[in-house]
Structure formats: structure tokens, C-alpha cells
Amino acid sequence: MTATTDGPAGPGVSGTKHTDRDSPGPEAPGQESLTALAERTAARAVDHLLARQDEQGWWKGDLETNVTMDAEDLLLREFLGIRDEKILRAAANFVRAQQREDGTWATFHGGPGELSTTIEAYVALKLAGDDPEAPHMARAAAWVRENGGVARSRVFTRIWLALFGWWRWEDLPELPPELIYLPKWFPLNIYDFGCWARQTIVPLTVVSALRPVHPAPFRIDELHRDPARPLPPGRMAPATTWDGAFQRIDRALHAYRKVAVKPLRRAALKDASRWIVERQENDGCWGGIQPPAVYSLIALRLLGYDMEHPVMRAGLESLDRFAVWPDEETRMVEACQSPVWDTCLVSIALADAGLPRDHPALVKAADWMLAEQIVRPGDWSVRRPQLPPGGWAFEFHNDNYPDIDDTAEVALALRRVDHPDPERVDRAVGRAVRWNLGMQSSDGAWGAFDVDNTSKFPNRLPFCDFGEVIDPPSADVTGHVLEMLAAEGRQGEPRARKAISWLLAEQESNGAWFGRWGVNYLYGTGSVVPALVAAGMPVSHPAIRRAVSWVESVQNDDGGWGEDLRSYIDADWIANGTSTPSQTGWALMTLIAGGERDSKAVERGIGWLAEQQREDGYWDEPFFTGTGFPWDFSINYHLYRMVFPLTALGRYLHGDGLDHLTARRDA
């Protein structure tokens, strides 16, 4: 794979010939110039996206996270004894290039230095041969010591260090493999965890039980405040608090380890192994994401799987496909790949921008998406055993964990295409709607992967300090599902009305909605307002007016909108940040849906997008506007900067692209 973010768009087909759309009506002279500006901006973006479509029909932008992906990939190869010097050099070049002037590494562009990320990056560079006395390494080590050293890093970082003897296993939280036997009604069973955490925790129970140590190639004393006593004295929280209770549970689990019944432990390890192997995808990955893959490979190796075993070979090959090579000397590892998500969002953007609904690019994309629908049960069926499948995953391969959000957006994309086999589309969308409705949580809203995944216990575990480990309903996912239901004419059904009630109750006092999977209130609001309006809520409704007023009030002086990831932990950062194309797109989508198409705020926002666009139709966006875990794990989707500005421009010019559905239903 090669990086494609900065290359020229190449020849394309203009997307501004609106053969089956209503053209904007007569406007005042000032508005005519804005319309022309929006059309030119949209046309260039359309051409750029058309030129980037894969011949199979999909789109995929790079998914950029942080250098822990690269560091852990190198540590995995070192642990398994498959060190590759070319990969080591190229990965080190990428890690080195991401270091900040103060010697640290951040988890997002422009963010502060982060301790665990800096430790893992430092160790990776030392593995690559960087001299600890070199200025960039000395600055990093000094910063780590000043900020508490290895002892203050997250548990996952110390697990990696324990694999090489740089940390004691005894000083890590215990995670027994017998966890796999807890019934689904029992607190802290594996299905109480979100799917991403579940897939990671099961293999880690194996690693925790076996406590392997690979001989370390060097020492890391320089990352400790006191190498002789790296673990600071701990203090137990009061037993009457949740933290205190779980600290005592962890102490009990450490004691249990010494007396664990050996046959039971052997059986648990065997069943964990079976659970892991059964969830390997056809392409060799686990869950389509990097963390479960690396820990699954380590666990299976510890359980005796030879490196030439087909399961191991396929797993390693899948990780290689997560690598992006911007050039021959630089290698970046994606935490995940997003072709289904990117393809449905691009299809929506192109259709809303006026590309004919029967355009070959849209038909080819629809064919690819139709072939990707998942028609077998996955882990979600533990809570919904009678529900027929019908969802879509986020990735190329992840049949065990289809995504409610992706399923809603794929259905919306398919409805924008005049496909030569409309009955096939109807069947696919029907399965998707049925599955999404079946995945509705009891409060009327939707999470991303599971139903009622809301237990508070997993987040309390001392082990779980790496980000969100449950999958509760969110406003952004619920908004997308509601929008899908409205497109199918089902907005008046009880389950849709329950979702609307939930969304209204979740609105913040300032008029915004929290964004779980995008940054942050701009994303949440941009997901909810179009859905509520599509479901029939008048733009005069107080909830819509409050949202519109809030978006207008947080517009930047340059005409765009931006929000820093620090808004997840500090209210002063809410809707506060450098203007970005994707977040400006979300704000414009809110305003246009809210009846403000002709407002000054929309005019300024479109002007900012036009001014920032490159000649090849692309927008630059170094800022991270997506999330895996709010604040803890941030994502820069390299196509967000294209699809959301184009969607907003298209809706300014033509509406939401689903008017034909209403006409068809009325007929």
C-alpha cells in the first residue's frame, strides 16, 4: 500500500452536471456568486475523489493514529524473533519524524506530550539502534523521568515492558484466563466489555497467566526515576469506594494465582486459545484492528503455535497489510483500515454533490458495498441470538463485529444510487434496517457494536486504563440510525420516536450534542440535527434552534470551525480550535439542515472551504478529528477532509440527495 494523501488527483470527470436534480432557484446577485463558488469548489472535490476510487469500487484513506502502533509492531517482531532490519529502519524513521521539539511524542497533532507514547517510542528507537546519549533520545528520557518515569505509564505500556523483563509481572494487575467462563449475566464477563476490549483482553489473559520474558537486548534504567526501586509505594483507596473495592479484588486475584486449580487453568487456557482462533478473520486479522492481532499472536505463540502455523502466518501477513509506505524509507502502521466507512461516506458526498445517481463510480461502489454485507452471526448474537444478521463492518474483513454506524451509513449511501438491480438493494437495505432495529438498546439509542453494553464495572478495573472499554449508546450513532430510518419512511414508528426522545434528552444545555466517534460537539451536533430534521422535526423546534444558535456562536473569525481533542477533558476547549475542513463541514451540515442555508454563517463557512481548497481539489488537514476512545486514542481519517466539506457543499446546492425516495414512496 502507498500513501495517497498528498498526490495529485489526476484526470477526473466533473461532478457538476446535475441531470436529475433541481437546480437552485433564482437568487440575489451576492448569492449567485456564492453558488458559483460552491459549485466550483465541489466540482474539484468530486474530480479528486473520482480519481481515487479503487478499480474494485471502494475508497480508503489513510487512518493515522500515533506511534504506539509502530513501536508495538517492532516490539512484537522482536518478541517473536522475526526482526526485519528494513522494517525496523523504516519504522524508526517514521517514529523519529513524529517527535516534538521537547523530546516527547503526542497522541494527536498539536497535542501535549504523552508519557506512555513517549516511552514506547523511545524504546522502539533504542531497538533501532539510536544512541541514548543522542540529543533527541536524551530529551525524551529526561522528560519521561520528570513526569514520573515508567512507573506512571499505563498498564498496557508496562505489559510490553514486562515481555522483555523491563518490568515485573508481579507488579501488574492480574487478569486470569478463567474470566472466559463467567456467564454473560455475571458482572465482568467478557461480553460486558466493548468488542475492541474483549478481543484484546482474552489473549491478554493468556499472556498474564504465562508471564513470558524474552531476553531484553538492552536496559532502560534511564526511563526510571530510581532504577533500583522503580515501583513507587502504592496507597489503597478506602474499601468503601469502587476504586478501593477493585484494588482489593486485584489483590485477591494475585493470591488466587498461587492456589489456582491447575486442571481448571489448563482448560481455561485451552478454551481461550479456541476462542481466539475462532475469531480470526478470513484475511488473518482479528476484529480488523491492530491491538487484538498483536496480543493474539503473542498468546498463540506462548500456547505452542509454531511460527509457520497457518494461523500465525495469516496473522502476521494481515499486520503487514496495515502498513503504509509513504516512501521506501518510511513505514507507518495503521491501527485499522476503513474502506467500508470511507466508501459509504464518499458515495453520500458524491451523490449529494450532484453526481448522477447512475454514475458508474456510484454503481461500482454500491456493488462493492453490497458484496460486503455480513450475513452470518457474530459476537453481537450473544445478546441477540434470534436476530438475523445484515450489518456491515468498518474494515475489509471483520465479520464477527459489524458496526451499527457503518450499517446505517451504507444503507443511506445505497439509497442514493440508481442501481441496475433495485430489488437487490431493497433486500440488502431491508436486512440492514432489521438488524439495526434489533440492535437498539433498551433506552432507545444505539451503541456502535453491541446492545446495552453499559456496565460500569469494566472501567473500574485497575487493568483498564487504556481508554474506553464499554460501548454505550451515543448521540452520533443514534443520529445516523434515525436518519436511515427516516430515509426508509419509518420515522413515525415507536422505536424511531423513542430514539428521538433519547436524543432530545441528551442535548447539552448549550444546544450541542456530545460526539463519541468524532471530535466532538461539532461532530455530535452535525450527526443529530440532520437526522432530527429528516425525521420530521420542524426547524423551528427549540432543540434545533438551540443547536443552530450554538453552531453560529462558535464559528471562528476566519469563517471555519474547529475543535481540539482536549474538549473531551476540558470544557474550555469545546468548539475551540483551529478551523478544519471536516469540522467546518459538520457545522455547515447542521446549519443547512436547520434552515440556515442563506445565513451569513453559511456564506462565511463556504468561503473558508473554497479559500482553503488546493488546486487539485484536496484539503490539507493535519489535525485529528476522529476518535477511537475520546481523548485516549485519536484518529486522523485522511478522507474526512474531503467527504464532509463536499457533503456540506452538495447540501447547500441540492439538498440531502434523498428527495427521490420521498417521491417514490408518494407514488
Tell me the CA distances in angstroms from 418 to 337, 413, 598, one per residue in order: 28, 11, 30
**d(C-alpha 154, C-alpha 118), whole Å:** 12
Task: Residue 453: name the closest of 401, 493, 410, 500 by CA.
Answer: 401
Q: Region 205-228: what's the mean pLDDT?
A: 92
Tell me the CA distances in angstroms from 62 to 59, 173, 334, 377, one per residue in order: 10, 35, 7, 29
**d(C-alpha 603, C-alpha 584), whole Å:** 12
Last residue of a domain, one of 295, 314, 333: 333
Query: Which amino acid belongs to residue 15?
Result: G
Task: Residue 391: name the closest of 403, 400, 381 by CA.
Answer: 403
Q: Answer yes or no: do 442 and 539 share one domain.
A: yes
Asked whether residue 542 is domain-assigned, the answer is yes
Phi-psi category of residue 332: left, alpha or beta, with phi > 0 → left and psi -120 to 50 → alpha: beta
* pLDDT-above-90 percentage for the chain: 82
Go through the chain and tell me how many residues it has.
667
**d(C-alpha 524, C-alpha 110), whole Å:** 22
Q: At residue 149, what are phi and psi to the nearest 5 degrees? A: 70, -175
Q: What per-residue confidence (pLDDT) applies to 12?
A: 33
Q: Which has more confidence, 657 or 286?
A: 286
The DSSP 8-state label assigned to residue 260 in this structure reads -
pLDDT reading at 26 higher than 80: no
**d(C-alpha 203, C-alpha 197), whole Å:** 11
**d(C-alpha 63, C-alpha 1), whole Å:** 12
**d(C-alpha 447, C-alpha 132), whole Å:** 45
Q: Answer yes or no: do 302 and 364 share one domain.
A: no
All cell numbers assigned to 459: 472501567
Query: Which amino acid belongs to residue 565?
Result: L
Q: What is the DSSP track for 425-490?
A: HHHHHHHHHHHHHHT--TTS---SSSSSB--SSGGGSTT--SS---B---HHHHHHHHHHHHHTT-
CB 464 within 8 A of CB 480: no
Q: How many domains is the chain partitioned into structurally?
A: 2
Last residue of a domain, one of 314, 333, 352: 333
Q: What per-residue confidence (pLDDT) applies to 11?
A: 31
**d(C-alpha 26, C-alpha 33), whole Å:** 12
Task: Find the Cα–Cα–Cα–Cα dihedral 284, 384, 194, 124, rounded to 10°.
Answer: 0
Q: Answer yes or no: do 525 and 602 share one domain.
A: yes
Of 98-107, 171-180, 384-393, 405-414, the poorest mean pLDDT is in 171-180
Question: pLDDT tier at 301 (50, 70, 90 boundaries)?
Answer: very high
Query: Which amino acid belongs to residue 568?
Result: Y
Q: Answer yes or no: do 545 and 619 share one domain.
A: yes
| Secondary structure element (H or E) that encloses residue 528, with its range | helix 521-534
pTM for the predicted model, two decimal places: 0.91
Q: Answer yes or no: do 362 and 485 share one domain.
A: yes
Q: What per-residue confidence (pLDDT) applies to 69?
A: 95
Catalytic residues, by residue number, are 405
What is the domain range of residue 323?
A: 66-333
Asked whether residue 643 is domain-assigned, the answer is yes
pLDDT reading at 209 higher than 90: yes
Q: Answer yes or no: do 542 and 620 share one domain.
A: yes
User: With the C-alpha atoms ordered 66, 68, 70, 71, is the resulting torsion angle positive or negative?
Assistant: positive
All cell numbers assigned to 619: 484539503
Q: Region 486-503: what's the mean pLDDT?
A: 97
Q: What residues have CB less than 8 Å from 226, skipping those under 6 apart? A: 149
Helices 290-302 and 68-80 cross at an angle (nearest 10°) of 20
Q: Answer yes or no: do 51 and 100 share one domain.
A: no
Asked whether residue 1 is domain-assigned, the answer is no
Task: Residue 518: name the closest of 628, 647, 642, 605 by CA.
Answer: 628
Asked whether residue 467 is domain-assigned, the answer is no
Q: Answer yes or no: do 95 and 189 share one domain.
A: yes
Tell me the CA distances in angstroms from 413 to 116, 349, 408, 475, 525, one per residue in order: 39, 9, 9, 20, 20
Q: Answer yes or no: do 362 and 282 share one domain.
A: no
Condensed to tens digits (0 to 9), the pLDDT of residues 596-645 reads 999 999 999 999 999 999 999 999 999 999 999 898 899 999 999 999 99
Last residue of a domain, one of 317, 333, 349: 333
Asked whether residue 242 is domain-assigned, the answer is yes
Q: Answer yes or no: do 509 and 652 share one domain.
A: yes
Q: Answer yes or no: do 561 and 435 share one domain.
A: yes
Asked whether residue 243 is domain-assigned, the answer is yes
Q: At residue 591, what are phi and psi to the nearest 5 degrees? A: -65, -40
Asked whether residue 10 is domain-assigned, the answer is no
Q: Region 451-458: what's the mean pLDDT?
A: 90
Residue bearing cell 520474558: 213
Q: What is the CATH number of the domain that holds 503?
A: 1.50.10.20
Condensed to tens digits (0 to 9), the pLDDT of residues 513-545 reads 999 999 999 999 999 999 999 999 999 999 999
Asked whether residue 580 is domain-assigned, the answer is yes
pLDDT reading at 249 higher than 90: no
Q: Answer yes or no: do 237 and 379 share one domain.
A: no
All cell numbers assigned to 559: 469563517
